[in-house]
Amino acid sequence: MGVKGLTAFLKEKELIYNISLKDLKTKYNIKAIGIDFSLYLHKVCYRLDSDDKDNHKNNIIDYFKNQVNKTFKDFEIHYIFDSKSNELKKELIEQRKKNSKISICSEYFTDTIEYFKNNNIKYHISPDGIEAEQYAAKLIKENTIQAVLTEDIDSIVFGAEILIKNNKGNKCNVIILKDVLEKLDLTQNDLINISIMSGTDFNVKGIYNYGINRAYKFLKNNSEEEINKMLYSIKNYQHIYNLFNYYN
């Protein structure tokens, strides 16, 4: 999920651009891309029917070696691995386990890391409690990468300046954080706050009966005092805010 309703909201505001991979390089000057490994690991495992772990591991490595690397062959690729999840994601993780039809073995991560290490493929492991897409924002700010490839929209809330998603062939959807803030007349803090109101991976339900559109209107039409009163009524608000603002 990332942030409830944010993708649809940005699409409605015409802030998701469909562009070619060539334009990523020329128009946005992207040389290196960070890939949220676990999201694409789930995609691969979902496609595999076999219960044979060794077969899964071989297919996972083949997928990243042959499909992802070939698609983004003109870019320097950095794979980003999640570490131990933040405690606030416990509710979401339990929900996903109940609904998931696939099982992810820890060996898939360790074997792939070993393969990357032996073949000089660039990878990063986020610190405990830090999301891969959250760590990507740090790597972008350091200019190690210039964009993150993920399906988690909360990457821009963490501060990732360019998010790439839904890549098909030589085309992809791109969200530019600067454009989002300018067109919606928001600060990064505002974006964090309307996301928390709507509901994130750290507070799945958000404020009762509030979607991202209502949260946006509330923030634009109310005083700082009223906004803060609303925000601090949310359980663990300050902790959640600090997580999103960690690398900003």
Task: Please say whether the beta carbons of 173 and 153 come within 8 A.
Answer: no
Angle formed at CA 174 by CA 173 and CA 175, multiple of 5 degrees: 130
Residues of the chain with CATH 3.40.50.1010: 14-180
CATH 1.10.150.20 maps onto the chain at 185-244
Tokens of 4: 């409830």
Per-residue pLDDT tens over the stretch 95-115: 665 665 555 556 778 888 888
* CA distances to 176, 179, 197, 213 from 182, in Å: 10, 5, 20, 17
Q: What is the mean pLDDT of residues 151-170?
A: 91
pTM, two decimal places: 0.89
Give the confidence band of 214 by pLDDT, cuts at 50, 70, 90: very high
Please report, for residues 60, 112, 123, 137, 167, the alpha-carbon distance to residue 119 in angstroms, rounded to integers and kept in the order given: 15, 10, 11, 25, 25
Of 113 and 147, more confident:
147
| Cβ-proximal residues to 220 (8 Å cutoff; 6+ apart), any chain | 185
Q: What average pLDDT does range 51-76 have in this prediction?
A: 74
H/E stretch holding 171 reads strand 171-176
Q: Who wins on pLDDT, 10 or 88?
A: 10
CB atoms inside a 10 Å sphere around CB 176: 18
Q: How confident is the model at residue 196 (pLDDT cuts 50, 70, 90)?
A: very high
**Identity of the highest mean pLDDT range in 5-9, 23-27, 53-57:** 5-9
Tokens of 89: 């994601």
CA distance 215 to 194: 5
Confidence of residue 170 (pLDDT cuts 50, 70, 90): confident
What integer pLDDT is reported at residue 89 of this predicted model?
Answer: 78
- What is the second-level CATH architecture of the domain 185-244? Orthogonal Bundle (1.10)
| pLDDT band per the 50, 70, 90 thresholds, residue 55 | low
Backbone phi and psi for residue 99, each to the nearest 5 degrees, phi listed first: -90, -15
Query: What pLDDT score does 23 carry?
Result: 92
Higher-confidence residue: 93 or 208?
Answer: 208
More confident: 196 or 103: 196
* CATH no. for 14-180: 3.40.50.1010
